[in-house]
A and B are shown apart, each in its own frame.
Chain A
Amino acid sequence: MNLKTLRDYGRVIFYAAEMALRSNLTDSFVLFGILVQPIIIALLAFWMLGDRGGEYIIFVVIGSGMTGLWTSCLFISGNSITQERWTGTLELMVSTPTPVSVIVIGKILSNVLQSLASMVLSYTLAIVIFGYVPTINQPVLFTISLLLTILSYACFGLLISPVFVLNPDVQRLQNGLEFPVYVLCGFMFPIALLPGWTTPLSYILSPYWAARALHATSSQWNGLGEVALSWAAMVALSLIYLMLSSLLFKRLLRRARLDATLNIQ
Chain B
Amino acid sequence: MKAIEVRNLRRVFRATIGVVRRKIKEIVAVDDISFEVYDGELFGLLGPNGAGKTTTVKMLTTMLIPTSGEARVLGLDVVRSAEALRSRIGFVFGGERGLYWRLSGYDNLRYFASLYHVDPAVSRKRIPYLLDLVGLSDRGQEKVEGYSRGMKQRLHIARTLLHDPQVLFLDEPTIGLDPVGARELRQVVRNLQAEKKTILLTTHYMFEADALCQRIAVIDKGRIIALDTPEGLKTYVKDLAVIEFEVYGVPSNVLEQLRAQPYVHTVSVENRDQKQALLIHSPRGSQAVPDLLSMMNGIRIGNVIVREPTLEDAYVRLVGGEA
Contact = CB atoms under 8 A, between A and B. Distances in A.
A254 B66 CA distance: 11
Interface residues of A, number: 28
Nearest to B143: A26
A262 B100 CA distance: 17
Nearest to A13: B114
A93 interface: yes
B65 interface: yes
Contact of B98 (A12, A23, A92, A103): A92
A251 interface: no
A97 interface: yes
Interface string B54-91: 00001001111100000000000000000100110001
Contacts, number: 72
Contact of B65 (A26, A88, A89, A257): A257
Given A8-B117, A12-B115, A97 B83 contact: yes
Contacts of B102: 22-23, 26
A93 B100 CA distance: 12
Contacts of A94: 63
A98 B115 contact: yes
B79 to A, nearest CB: 9
A91 interface: yes
Contact of A89 (B86, B87, B99): B99
Contact of B86 (A16, A22, A97, A103): A97
Interface of A: 5, 8, 11-12, 15-16, 19, 22-23, 26, 87-89, 91-98, 103, 254, 257-258, 260, 262-263
Nearest to B95: A88
A87 B111 contact: no
Contacts of A258: 65
A91 B58 CA distance: 10
Interface string B98-129: 11111100010011101111001000000000
A87 B101 CA distance: 9
